Amino acid sequence: MWWVDLTILAEGLDEWTPTDENIARLVDREDYWLNSEYRSWITDPDDPEVQAEKTRQKLLGVKPPEQPMLWPVAVRPPALQQQLVQAVTQAAEKIAAPPRKKITITEFLRMRGN
């Protein structure tokens, strides 16, 4: 009877073990690494737009976070997934609104390339 086999497979699916979470975190890190590598492959550091954006961020005092933002992309139980997404979203909102640094007119004109 095939339904017995499915019942055996379904048993224990409601338990999320530390091993399951460790594997999910490895998937999250692998996804982060691959996306970071891909961005480095397609970004030309000599592109004037890239250089202008780096200058703009430097003048405004925008710095990357101390720790990488690992978005939970692995499949987890829905309640845990929602909790992790909420935590990462809150952390990203804090980083997205850094304290604004005042800049001089000279710095502004240099940022615009004038």
- CA dist 54 to 58, 96, 103, Å? 6, 16, 15
Q: DSSP character for 66?
A: S
**Bigger pLDDT: 8 or 27?**
27
What is the phi/psi pair of residue 17, to 5°?
-90, 165
Encode pLDDT of 41-81 as tens digits: 999 999 999 999 988 888 877 788 888 889 999 999 999 99
Contact status, residue 90 vs residue 26, Cβ threshold 8 Å: no
* Kind plus residue range of the DSSP H or E element containing 108: helix 105-112
Q: Taking residues 29-51, what's their average pLDDT?
A: 94
